[in-house]
Structure 1
């Protein structure tokens, strides 16, 4: 089913036709009362029926709204332009909102690429671009959007790991939310095209490990953070020790053989890397 424009006229043209029918009906009634003419009676009945039929042709379209018209089960078309219109009488009308709609999905429990149970939810921003498809091609386009959004979110969540611990993957759910959101948007657009719905944006709004493994994964993240911090400390300590030895040798402050260099490196590394404070030991030489 494709969207097509419905035949319509300005609503005030319809009002003029209704006024003409009312005037004609009044004259017919007066003629029948004065002369009791059968012709006046028939004319009055016909004008009354035409008036009642004409009154069903008026419709009002609000901004960012459309109406889908059918006549005795036949699809006639859609009116999107706001205003007061007169169209085919006796038609059935279905209102469809063209406004932008936000949909927040429920928190879904799924398994990521590595099989870890996670909780994930998304916000989907969409609008209807084809009113005919939204009305005729699916039972309820809003319910269809909700169901397909959760299905697409489950599918995308299973394609990526929660976190890229070992740099084995290019994209992870936690570190690359924008990229995952773009993939989710494209996936949902393909799923919802049949309903005449355009996906404006889809983004992950909640992401967490499932409660049964959350504590273990938190410890894993803390351990990684500690290791990363240790690496920074060790790299800095090595650089400082190297600089100290080079400066002592260059300025010829002391003569250090390999054994003394090794002892000095050991003492400096312990002092710089240790988390606790160190008590300095001053070598005053040999006492006799």
Structure 2
């Protein structure tokens, strides 16, 4: 298939042509008036025949010219293109809004150049880890090449819808729903996902003369049959991550406390007492409930 690229068609303003058509109409009425006036004033039938012989060729020429000029008039609205096809051959497009006249024998299908949205349905697919998820997206697009949109694909609106859903499915299968920090995922990297989705859609839709302006996910969730299990897994992962942070902070605080006690000479501790202090501090710092201090007031046998 040879691709067809948009080109500008020959056209002129329709107002001079409209004025010419009005002038032809007035001239035709004037000729008819002169004819009937001459017939009414004619005294012999031979003079009426001469008047008829003059009128019909003139009216015939006027009707032919009128019939050729009138079909060439058309209107182009803002953000619209008219594609001209003459005898099965593409001869160009008219994008300028206004009143135009072009080849009267050409058909002129209309192609909208407005920005449009495509909202996909919720699609059920498997992510990169094989988990079933529900995903949907919105695609903002517009036609930038009216010839490609009309001639290179059968129905460019249906083509955009089908290719958008195909690209969403392909994207979902390349990334996991969720991943550890630093790794790309559908939930964790929305800007990266939007960029990749737009790039893939643009590659698929360029054959239809369509520009993808933006593409973003509008819905992302685990499929209902695994949603509860995945929620419990996420909660467990969050608890483990929080515990790790708490332990790391507690160990740092204990080390800092022992170091400052040693530097300032507040108290001299042997290894056994250091171990006991570390144990008490870790219990106090890591415990979920508020720690209750125990005061050592001495021993009866001291």
* TM-score bracket relative to the smaller structure: over 0.9
Find the counterpart in structure 1 of residue 96 from structure 2. Answer: 81
Find the counterpart in structure 1 of residue 133 from structure 2. Answer: 118
**Equivalent-residue separation in structure 2 for 1:132 and 1:61 (angstroms):** 16
**Equivalent-residue separation in structure 2 for 1:98 and 1:61 (angstroms):** 11
SS of the equivalent of 2:278 reads helix
Q: Is the 8 A contact 1:28 1:41 kept in 2?
A: no
1:197 aligns with 2:200: no
Write the mapping of 1:150-165 to structure 2, written as runs, cut at 5 A: 150-165=165-180
Find the counterpart in structure 2 of residue 98 from structure 1. Answer: 113
Find the counterpart in structure 1 of residue 41 from structure 2. Answer: none
SS of the equivalent of 1:2 reads coil
SS of the equivalent of 1:56 reads helix
1:3 aligns with 2:6: yes
**Equivalent-residue separation in structure 2 for 1:20 and 1:60 (angstroms):** 21
Cα displacement (A) at 1:285: 1.9
Find the counterpart in structure 1 of residue 19 from structure 2. Answer: 16
Aligned to 1:256, which of 257, 269, 274? 269
The answer for unaligned runs of 5 or more in structure 2 is 39-47
1:270 aligns with 2:273: no
**Equivalent-residue separation in structure 2 for 1:250 and 1:87 (angstroms):** 95
Cα displacement (A) at 1:72: 4.0
Cα RMSD (Å): 1.8
Find the counterpart in structure 2 of residue 25 from structure 1. Answer: 28
Aligned to 1:215, which of 222, 228, 231? 228
Q: Is the 8 A contact 1:32 1:41 kept in 2?
A: no
SS of the equivalent of 1:93 reads coil
Q: Is the 8 A contact 1:13 1:86 kept in 2?
A: no
**Equivalent-residue separation in structure 2 for 1:112 and 1:135 (angstroms):** 35
Moved more, 132-141 or 72-81: 72-81
1:186 aligns with 2:189: no
**Equivalent-residue separation in structure 1 for 2:189 and 2:266 (angstroms):** 53
**Equivalent-residue separation in structure 2 for 1:39 and 1:74 (angstroms):** 41
**Equivalent-residue separation in structure 2 for 1:68 and 1:94 (angstroms):** 6
Find the counterpart in structure 1 of residue 238 from structure 2. Answer: 225
**Equivalent-residue separation in structure 1 for 2:109 and 2:252 (angstroms):** 74
Q: Is the 8 A contact 1:130 1:197 kept in 2?
A: yes
With structure 1 as the length reference, what TM-score do the two structures score?
Answer: 0.93
With structure 2 as the length reference, what TM-score do the two structures score?
Answer: 0.89
**Equivalent-residue separation in structure 2 for 1:71 and 1:252 (angstroms):** 100
Aligned to 1:108, which of 111, 123, 139? 123
For this pair of structures, how many residues does the alignment match?
286
The answer for unaligned runs of 5 or more in structure 1 is none
Moved more, 66-75 or 134-143: 66-75
Moved more, 182-191 or 27-36: 27-36
Determine which structure has more spread, i.e. the larger CA radius of gyration.
2
Cα displacement (A) at 1:31: 4.2
Q: Is the 8 A contact 1:192 1:198 kept in 2?
A: yes
